[in-house]
Amino acid sequence: MSNSASVQVPTPTPSFDLTGKRVVVVGGKKAIGLGVAQAAHAMGAAVTVASRRNTSVEEHPELAAFEQVVLDISDETAVQAAFEAIGPFDHLIVTAGPALGAWGSFMDPDMRGVRSYLEAKFLGTWACARYAAPHLQAGGSMTFLTGGTGARAKLGLAAVTSTFAAVELLSQSLAIELAPIRVNTIRPGFIDTNFWEVLPPADVEEIRAKVRAKFPARRLGTAGDVGHAAVFLMTNPYVTGTVLEVSGGELLVDWIF
Ligand SMILES: NC(=O)c1ccc[n+]([C@@H]2O[C@H](COP(=O)([O-])OP(=O)(O)OC[C@H]3O[C@@H](n4cnc5c(N)ncnc54)[C@H](OP(=O)(O)O)[C@@H]3O)[C@@H](O)[C@H]2O)c1
């Protein structure tokens, strides 16, 4: 029997309220992470957002309510220093990940693509969890982010599929390892953010049309949809080690890409 089995955890009353809680969103200055930061803030949390650059509040007033931290999750030393500077907090959410297409193909002449993708997405998530863990307060949680590709392999996406699967299994492992800290993963479907901007606009419009037509939810996903799910995972005291799909039903229909 592990030591953690004897830990006595009081039974909390479920609530979506985050008043008095401190939330750190790595990747929270735009897109899905910003949706999570805004949802947590709306429920009363003090929110810190982290990414590789400071974003001007004059240009992005939506960030005015948040503390900003500069952090490259591929840099372990920087991650450790950032969480030491942040100090005690309640909930960690890691949405940061490499840009669309920055993952390499299996038969590339070398493995630089997959190495840098794994370094950022998998080891970056690992590093955030590792160096956040000592600072998480009782009742705290961690939430990671993957995508539907983690559950359904597709030609050309071996690096993404296997990395997302690894992140999801990391969250299950840490749900045991860090208990009673709760650790979960959100697996989004198509979320209409600037993530897709690297594609030609006509291609993005085509994808949007397919999502509206084929996904059972019959609409585009929003960062707010993921934010809503993240608040649920932060506040529900009995959910741990799970993968929560927020996908409009993407995995129930054929691949649209
Ligand atoms: N949007 C979708 O439909 C969708 C669906 C499934 C899965 N996903 C996954 O979700 C992730 C986030 O996507 P998104 O839609 O939120 O858009 P995004 O534009 O990819 O947002 C990524 C965020 O992470 C930060 N970031 C990137 N690399 C970082 C690093 N090394 N260290 C620290 N921060 C870093 C970026 O800010 P800085 O540039 O300032 O660092 C940005 O705030 C993606 O990696 C993708 O795999 C997205």
**Is 120 near ligand 1, meaning CB less than 6 Å away?**
yes
Alpha carbon distance 189, 199 (integer Å): 17
Q: What is the tens place of the pLDDT at every residue in 127-159?
A: 999 999 999 999 999 999 999 999 999 999 999
**Is 191 near ligand 1, meaning CB less than 6 Å away?**
yes
The tokens for 113 are: 């693509």
Nearest atom of ligand 1 to the alpha carbon of 164:
47
**Is 30 near ligand 1, meaning CB less than 6 Å away?**
yes
For the cut 80, the answer to whether the pLDDT of residue 107 exceeds it is: yes
| Placement of tokens 């693509």 in the chain | 113
CA of 90 to the centre of ligand 1 (A): 22
Q: What is the tens place of the pLDDT at every residue in 36-55?
A: 999 999 999 999 999 999 99
Domains of the chain in sequence order: 14-250 (3.40.50.720)
CA of 197 to the centre of ligand 1 (A): 12
Q: How far is CA 177 from CA 2, 15, 76, 150, in A?
A: 10, 25, 20, 22
What percentage of the chain reaches a pLDDT higher than 70?
Answer: 97
pLDDT of residue 6: 63
For the cut 60, the answer to whether the pLDDT of residue 1 exceeds it is: no
Mutate which of 24, 34, 52, 220 for ligand 1 pocket (most atoms within 8 A of beta carbon):
52
Nearest atom of ligand 1 to the alpha carbon of 120:
31
Mutate which of 195, 208, 220 for ligand 1 pocket (most atoms within 8 A of beta carbon):
195
Mean pLDDT of all residues in 166-192: 98
Mutate which of 30, 56, 69, 154 for ligand 1 pocket (most atoms within 8 A of beta carbon):
30
Mean pLDDT of all residues in 64-78: 97
Question: Could you tell me the strand order of the sheet in which 89-94 lies?
Answer: 67-70, 46-51, 22-26, 89-94, 136-145, 182-188, 243-246
SS3 232: helix
For the entire predicted model, the pTM comes to 0.96
Mean pLDDT of all residues in 86-97: 98
